[in-house]
Amino acid sequence: MTKLFKTFSRVIFLSLLASSALARQVIIPAPPELAATGYLVMDASTGKVLVEHNANELLPPASLTKMMTSYIVSSEVHSGNMREEDLVDISVTAWKMGGSKMFIREGTRVSIKDLLRGVIIQSGNDASVALAEHVAGSEDAFADVMNQQAALLGMNDTTFMNATGWPAEGHLTTAKDLSLLARAMINDYPEHYKLYSEKYFKFNGINQPNRNKLLFRDKTVDGIKTGHTDAAGYCLVSSAEKNGMRLIAVVMGTRSEEARATESQKLLAYGFRYFQTHKVYDSGAELNTAKVWAGQGEQVGLGIQDAIYLTIPRGAQDDLVAEMHIDEVIKAPLTEGQELGNLTIQLNDEQLVNVPLVALQSIEEAGFFARLWDSLILFFTSVFK
């Protein structure tokens, strides 16, 4: 088994560690207790959950369901299977849908872009069914697609029975699963996520406001979706960005439209006030170098494949501890991206990161005599340790 030893780059040490004399106690108050059945707030870039309560409880999502409907349509457009300009035939089934409506008419044709706005801004049940039928042929078939997509996103406790959130037995999800869906929408399809920030949409001569009240009262909020039925109560998934940090809040089962907005603001305010997200290392940046034996080059740069972002209590950056564990003997040939150790980052004895350290360059094997000489040095070094 390859031996490992700890090595600290002075630059990295200074960027992550403060002396014990400078370190200070980080104090964070208890999170707010909301008048809601289940709730959660998460950092959108790292997926770090900051506050949660009953986040895994199965609950009816009402029109929050339409987040998945729009996600699937965005995926179809992104993959080239459909275009935003494509026209959708409006069926009698879609036209007859009750509840919140876009007011499309049976027998007409409406663009996918307008139907998406009808789903997202106006929460149109008619628009949701029209899109479901266009994508999968029927709403039942589309529900199967929704459940397959939910599984791919890790929404393991979610079952969709329809495209709208219309009450149906077994149509259930959790606050945690909805946060995963919101994060996927924001990160996967940012061009369509912009639709969630639009405050009004006028169609067929009827101008309707976005039901997300936070869009009108908090300039940091730019989405996402409301929902309401008698069984679900008043629900809201919201997202806000402030000073480069984006949060996602999920609030389910409140008593009123005002309550879901107010309770969501409490979560967002707490997250922004007491936590911070920042980039610790860039992808491909050289964090250290290591000796290479039997190679055409004597040193190899070490780094990480993907940038590292951390969400931590505000002010706790001085308590981060980074360690690089590097293979003791590194022999050529080496290929770029080859694992040569690992990088860990801890905060107060909790490991936050454990990722491979990789070669940043490929290094060819040296000639015969150079390899022989390095082999002799390694042999005698091991003997006299």
d(CA 97, CA 91): 10
What confidence tens digit (pLDDT) does each residue in 107-120 have? 999 999 999 999 99
What pLDDT is stored for residue 368 in this prediction?
A: 79
Question: Which residue stretches of the chain have pLDDT < 50?
Answer: 1-15, 17-23, 383
The number of beta carbons lying within 10 Å of the beta carbon of residue 364 is: 11
Q: Is residue 20 annotated as part of the catalytic site, yes or no?
A: no
pLDDT tens by residue, 270-279: 999 999 998 8
pLDDT at 384: 54
**So where are the chain's domains?**
4-22+282-383, 38-275
Q: Using alpha carbons, list the distances in angstroms from residue 296 to 231, 300, 303, 360.
A: 69, 11, 20, 15
Q: CB neighbours (10 Å) of residue 136? A: 17
Q: In terms of DSSP bridges, do strands 275-281 and 200-203 run parallel, antiparallel, or are they unpaired?
A: unpaired
- Distance separating alpha carbons of residues 135 and 131, to the nearest angstrom: 6
Architecture of the 38-275 domain: 3-Layer(aba) Sandwich (3.40)
The CATH code of the domain at 4-22+282-383 is: 2.60.410.10
Cα–Cα nearest to 337, from 307, 365, 303, 309: 303
63 classed as catalytic: yes
Whether the domain at 4-22+282-383 and the domain at 38-275 fall into the same CATH topology = no
What is the pLDDT at residue 159? 98
Q: Which one from 45, 63, 70, 179 is the annotated catalytic residue?
A: 63
Within 10 Å of residue 286's Cβ, how many Cβ atoms?
A: 13
Q: Which amino acid is at 218?
A: D
How far, in Å, CA of 35 to CA of 233, rounded?
Answer: 12
> From its phi and psi, is residue 154 left (phi > 0), alpha (psi between -120 and 50) or beta?
left
Q: Active-site residue among 66, 101, 213, 225?
A: 66
Q: Which helix (H) or strand (E) holds 240?
A: strand 233-242
Give the model's pLDDT for residue 6.
41
Model pTM score: 0.87
Residue 291: its H or E element: strand 288-291
pLDDT of residue 382: 64
164: which 2 tokens? 């709208």
- Among 45, 100, 123, 239, the active-site one is 123
